[in-house]
């Protein structure tokens, strides 16, 4: 799912192309993408774009007359900038927004249709705000208050949109690695210096990746928006070497997501319990990197690391 850095780049690129432009029409490729009925979507046409902004992980096109289009890309939704009047792809095309300079295409890969579009009155935008803190410009006190508001693991707290805005599975992994903190450490057990380290790492990682992605796009439009990048430290890098210590990156699988971390950098060399596997293997579940390496060695009958 596109997170703060990706969505900020989308917003920046859209401002350069459609701010002040008139939205000529909205074409729907799938009736299921539109999740609102009042006002009717046909009333979006003929309105000037007065602003483009990020609301958590959503993109908002503010239109004249106190109206707004709210786009949520979810996991597989993506935006593309195409030539004017671009034809909607039959399978992946969800919606097209026609402007004189070009067409903004909303598409979604795969068979699941999770991306959404709402056309609403501007005063209804508050309903889409989950209330999470915008970390980049937040004070240390506000960050601490949000983090400690509820007692959760750090991984869950960072990805909870009610606590922090715009952070998801990928960048939470990168933030926690940068901060040298275990993803399963409870917020109630954090010392003040750890909280400040986490805040600083959150700002650093999000801003560094925003600038990196902006430089990558340049004057173009994002074409490769993905949560898996080879330059990342741990996310999506299971069994690959940690860039800081060389130890193999570990992971915890849960639901449709995974948590990636370096056991040596973030947890003093101890492996975190993968709930499914550790329950299955019980005492055979390795507790440290050393035990894991022994299990994988040819002499132990396991696969080489």
pLDDT in tens, 132-175: 999 999 999 999 999 999 999 999 999 999 999 999 999 999 99
The rounded distance, in Å, linking the Cα atoms of 8 and 67 is: 21
The token duo for 253 is 């699988």
Q: Two tokens at 165?
A: 């805005």
Name the β-bridge partners of 186: 153
Per-residue pLDDT tens digits of the chain, which is 305 residues long: 899 999 999 999 999 999 999 999 999 998 899 999 999 999 999 999 999 999 999 999 999 999 999 999 999 999 999 999 999 998 899 999 999 999 999 999 877 789 999 999 999 999 999 999 999 999 999 999 999 999 999 999 999 999 999 999 999 999 999 999 999 999 999 999 999 999 999 999 999 999 999 999 999 999 989 989 999 999 999 999 999 999 999 999 876 678 999 999 999 999 987 655 455 444 444 455 555 455 444 444 444 33
- Pairing of the two strands 58-63 and 47-55: antiparallel
The Cβ-side half-sphere exposure at 188, using a 13 Å CA radius, reads 3
Residues 173 and 259: beta-carbon distance below 8 Å: yes
Residue 79's alpha-carbon distances to 2, 108, 226, in angstroms, are 11, 9, 12
d(CA 69, CA 152): 34
Tell me how far the alpha carbon of residue 24 is from its chain's centroid: 30
What is residue 288's predicted lDDT score, i.e. its pLDDT?
53
Domains of the chain and CATH, by start: 4-128 (3.20.190.10), 135-217 (1.10.8.50)
Both tokens assigned to 202 = 């959150």
b/e for 203-227, b at 16 or more Cβ within 10 A? bebbeebbeebeeebeeebbeebeb
DSSP H helices in the chain: 4-18, 140-148, 154-159, 169-179, 192-217, 263-267, 275-281, 289-296
Beta strands 25-28 and 58-63, pairing class: unpaired
Whole-number Å distance between alpha carbons of 60 and 57: 10
- The pLDDT, as a whole number, for residue 255 is 65
Going by C-alpha positions, the residue among 94, 105, 1, 12 that lies closest to residue 54 is 12
What pLDDT shows up at residue 118? 98
**Look-up: residue for tokens 């709402």?**
118
Token duo for residue 92: 């992946």
The neighbouring-strand residues paired with 71 are: 59, 117
């Amino acid at each position: 799912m596109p997170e703060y850095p990706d969505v900020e780049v989308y917003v920046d690129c859209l401002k350069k192309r459609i701010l002040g432009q008139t939205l000529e029409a909205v074409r729907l490729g799938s009736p299921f993408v539109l999740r609102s009925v009042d006002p009717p979507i046909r009333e979006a046409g003929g309105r000037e774009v007065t602003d483009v902004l990020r609301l958590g992980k959503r993109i908002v096109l503010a239109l004249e007359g106190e109206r707004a289009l709210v786009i949520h890309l979810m996991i597989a939704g993506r935006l593309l900038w195409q030539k004017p009047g671009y034809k909607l792809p039959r399978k992946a095309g969800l919606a097209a927004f026609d402007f004189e300079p070009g067409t903004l295409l909303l598409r979604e890969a795969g068979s699941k249709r999770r991306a959404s579009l709402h056309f609403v009155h501007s005063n209804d935008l508050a309903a889409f705000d989950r209330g999470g803190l915008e970390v980049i410009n937040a004070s240390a006190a506000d960050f601490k208050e949000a983090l400690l508001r509820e007692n959760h693991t750090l991984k869950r707290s960072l990805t909870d949109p009610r606590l922090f805005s715009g952070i998801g599975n990928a960048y939470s992994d990168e933030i926690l690695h940068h901060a040298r903190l275990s993803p399963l450490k409870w917020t109630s057990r954090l010392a003040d210096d750890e909280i400040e380290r986490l805040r600083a790492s959150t700002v650093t990682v999000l801003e560094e990746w925003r600038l990196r992605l902006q430089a990558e796009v340049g004057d173009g439009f994002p074409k490769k928006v993905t949560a898996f990048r080879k330059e990342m430290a741990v996310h999506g890098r299971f069994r690959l070497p940690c860039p800081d210590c060389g130890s193999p990156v570990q992971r915890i699988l849960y639901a449709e997501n995974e948590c990636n971390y370096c056991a040596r950098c973030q947890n003093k060399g101890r492996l975190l319990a993968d709930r499914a596997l550790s329950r299955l293997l019980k005492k055979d579940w390795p507790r440290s990197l050393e035990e894991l390496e022994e299990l994988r060695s040819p002499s132990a009958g396991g696969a080489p690391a």
